[in-house]
Structure 1
Amino acid sequence: MASTPQQSDGPVRPRGPRTRSRASHSLESVLAGAVEILDESGAQGLTIRALATRLGGGVASVYWYVSGRDELLDLAADSVLAGVLEATADVGGGDPIEDIRTIALTMFDAIVDRPWLGAYALRDTTSQIHSLQLYERIGEHVMRLDLTPRQTFHATSAVVGYVIGTAADLGQEPPAAVVSGEVSREEYMASAAAQWRALDAADFPFIHHILDEFDGHDDRDQFLGGLDLLLAGLRLQAQG
């Protein structure tokens, strides 16, 4: 689960170049290329050299915009969350809880299909300005519940942590047999459910209690169930 975002006194631009070689790209194209590689190969596939090759230039043209791979990963993640920020720009004016739910679900959908993203979302908001703005947006809706600063901080952090943590967990790389096509995801989950059914109910009463729900469950529905529980508690706190 992501840690609490670091606070920033203002937007921090990517650090200046180490050399003054002429840049042949733009920051937007560099980040778009990085996201493409990350989506295709994960974090292990993203190197400065691989990105430069994709963009059709030398590594110096990438270093013009970022100081290294870590900054590239942070800014690539931030560029994805910029889309969440844009997609939720008009959210507001209704029930605060429903507005928070809408933003949280949009954020979840952006992360869950990108197994690499959860590790870098809101990792360093001193450079991830869109991530900081997204954290701010969620916090401003929590503020509408008229909670104390401490309650507001904890509530906002809980929502963000739940979204990122759950999306990262559900978006993990599938088992090798599923990736290779040896079995489908449905067949793999059915096999897991069958193994659970074979367990002794006296030793695993919880497993047997929820087996029918687990068998064939929808990950997004599972996420929404937990989110609604969290938000219901937040509503009760606001009414207390």
Structure 2
Amino acid sequence: MFSLQNKRAVVTGGGSGIGKAIATILAKQGAEVHIIELGLEQAETALTEISAAGGSAFSYACDVADHKAVKEVFAKIGKINILVNNAGIAHIGKADTTEEADFDRVMKVNVKGVYNCLYAAIPQIRLTGGGVIINMASIASLIGLPDRFVYSAAKGAVKAMTMSVAKDYIGENIRCNSISPARVHTPFVDGFLQKNYPDNIPEMFEKLSKTQPIGRMAKPEEVGALALYLCSDEAAFITGCDYPIDGGFTTLNN
């Protein structure tokens, strides 16, 4: 089950965190994985781990917010079966504390970046007779989170784009779903704590962990396992759906 032999997958932001976990598990299951990162050095660890495990992976330096560059990279990669739109950036702020430059930056990467990759990837997916697209949304697209104004707006757009793509391409054998994680223990979380709470990291880590009713943050590999399922033929009847993976956050936090 869940074999991706003879499949070619593109994972944006696949050099660390959730993206790295997704790229690694797709390669483990037989896919040829192409990682798109802002810089090649950011993909080196993922490439090393995938190669050491006997997998096949390649990397490309590209800013997903650059329409022309994205088209060029996908043309170089060629026909694919799977696209995982994972690249994104975070921001903390309310509507009246989010500066215009920060608003534009988040929307450019998290929304236009997804559009750019969809625009470039769908013709390449057609060449294989159909395939799978996964967009990384967030529980911020489902419920209100404090101090996440523009991030929530961007992830809401990603969820809406997912539904639109699923509807538009269902007749071409292209499935499209989104995944909405709650807090996941990634290097971003560690960096956030180091920057903002250097004197009480363990205490704040525990506090953030327990905002999930299950009592901990997700592991990147757990999100990767869900992505693997949605990419596999076992999920062939699933399209136009969003999958919260949140330790009960959206339903049990009453």
Task: Check whether TM > 0.5.
Answer: no
The structure in which a higher percent of residues are helix is 1
Which has more radius of gyration? Answer: 1
Provide TM-score, normalisation by structure 2: 0.33
TM-score (norm 1): 0.34
Bigger fraction of residues in strand: 2
